[in-house]
């Protein structure tokens, strides 16, 4: 099995480029989803990934959307799939569905227990961590390319970085071909994490997850949930403009360009944008990067 990302092999160019979307819940959200996707297609992403809800709750909806995106756009489509609270039979059904739709890759995740539901989802499911779930897919659905999540600032449940990285290594050893990181704002954190994983013998591509900050309040909330630190230099810039959406967009683009440029200059294998289904910042960031990194 190649350790190169599929998308690199498919597109024959570096660095890679990918966009993550989530399944919209309302009809207006659906319009925005397709509009954003169409806006981003001209940047020739190597893959599109679509998230799924926790606990199997919105898995079926995600599945249908993944199918439609793949069918309508022909893009290399990566389906996120969480195992939390799900039985082997339920996961097998979803994987068969993706197989029948011709989906080439799965981002295999544990997921989080659904909020507001009684505790015990982790115990109820067939797999308590992503690692055995990856091994399961690798054994029964060997045709899928497999991605996993990585946490440069550690996963919130395991703040001990060394322990979390050993868990990450086991997950990769179970059969992952690539990893995508949680978002971060300090590139040193990413490069330290990648260096430490390499020392531990993890050699799959680790794509940095990029979150352009165009809505400060929203990112503050997400950062707390995900354990991604907001550096002081970033909060002080946004605190001053928090009620001015235009300025936040401009600042988000400026900081996004600087972060991405530095990542690519220093050898990151590509960029994975968390689009949040919004088209405002990402195209502007890519326009600035295109002459140097994505010509033509």
User: Smaller CB distance to ligand FAD: residue 161 or 241?
Assistant: 161
Helix (H, G, I), strand (E, B) or coil at 216: helix
Tell me the closest approach of the beta carbon of residue 40 to ligand FAD, in angstroms.
17
d(CA 39, CA 178): 26
User: Smaller CB distance to ligand FAD: residue 109 or 281?
Assistant: 109
Tell me the closest approach of the beta carbon of residue 128 to ligand FAD, in angstroms.
7
* C-alpha distance across the termini of the chain, in Å: 30
User: Smaller CB distance to ligand FAD: residue 168 or 216?
Assistant: 168
- Token readout for 170 is 């086991």
User: Smaller CB distance to ligand FAD: residue 136 or 237?
Assistant: 136
Q: Per the residue annotation, which of 8, 20, 131, 153 is the catalytic one?
A: 20
Helix (H, G, I), strand (E, B) or coil at 79: strand
Tell me the closest approach of the beta carbon of residue 152 to ligand FAD, in angstroms.
10
Is 20 a residue of the active site?
yes
Nearest Cα to Cα of residue 136 among 175, 105, 169, 104: 175
User: Smaller CB distance to ligand FAD: residue 158 or 279?
Assistant: 158
Answer positive or negative: Cα dihedral of 173, 133, 119, 21: positive
Tell me the closest approach of the beta carbon of residue 268 to ligand FAD, in angstroms.
15
d(CA 76, CA 45): 8
d(CA 159, CA 165): 10
Residues at the interface with ligand FAD (CB under 6 A): 51-52, 54, 80, 82, 109-112, 129-131, 149, 155, 157-158, 164, 167, 171, 180, 182, 209
Tell me the closest approach of the beta carbon of residue 65 to ligand FAD, in angstroms.
12
For residue 217, with 0-12 CB atoms within 10 Å meaning exposed, 13-18 middle and 19 or more buried, which class applies? Answer: exposed
How many Cα atoms occupy the beta-carbon half-sphere of 135 within 13 Å?
11
Helix (H, G, I), strand (E, B) or coil at 183: strand
d(CA 30, CA 26): 6
Name the closest residue to ligand FAD (Cβ): 51
Active site residues: 20
């Amino acid at each position: 099995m190649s350790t190169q990302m599929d998308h690199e092999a498919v597109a024959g160019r570096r660095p890679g480029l990918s966009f993550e979307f989530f399944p919209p819940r309302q009809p207006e959200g659906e319009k925005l989803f397709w509009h954003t996707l169409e806006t981003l297609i001209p940047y020739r992403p190597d893959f599109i990934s679509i998230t799924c809800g926790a606990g199997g709750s919105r898995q079926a909806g995600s599945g249908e959307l993944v199918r439609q995106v793949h069918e309508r756009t022909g893009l290399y489509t990566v389906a996120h799939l969480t195992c939390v609270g799900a039985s082997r039979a339920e996961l097998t059904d979803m994987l068969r569905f993706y197989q029948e739709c011709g989906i080439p890759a799965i981002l295999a995740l544990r997921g989080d227990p659904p909020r507001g539901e009684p505790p015990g989802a982790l115990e109820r499911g067939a797999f308590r961590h992503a690692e055995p779930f990856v091994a399961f897919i690798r054994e029964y659905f060997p045709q899928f390319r497999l991605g996993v999540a990585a946490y440069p600032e550690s996963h919130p449940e395991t703040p001990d970085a060394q322990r979390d990285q050993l868990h990450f290594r086991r997950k990769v050893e179970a059969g992952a071909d690539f990893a995508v990181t949680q978002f971060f704002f300090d590139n040193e954190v990413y490069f330290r994490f990648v260096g430490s994983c390499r020392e531990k013998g993890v050699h799959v591509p680790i794509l940095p997850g990029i979150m352009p900050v165009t809505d400060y309040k929203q990112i503050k909330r997400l950062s707390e949930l995900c354990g991604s630190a907001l550096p002081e230099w970033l909060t002080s810039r946004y605190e001053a403009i928090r009620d001015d959406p235009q300025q936040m967009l401009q600042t988000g683009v400026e900081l996004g360009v600087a972060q991405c440029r530095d990542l690519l200059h220093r050898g990151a294998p590509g960029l994975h944008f968390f689009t949040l289904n919004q088209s405002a910042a990402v195209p502007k960031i890519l326009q600035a990067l295109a002459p140097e990194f994505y010509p033509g």
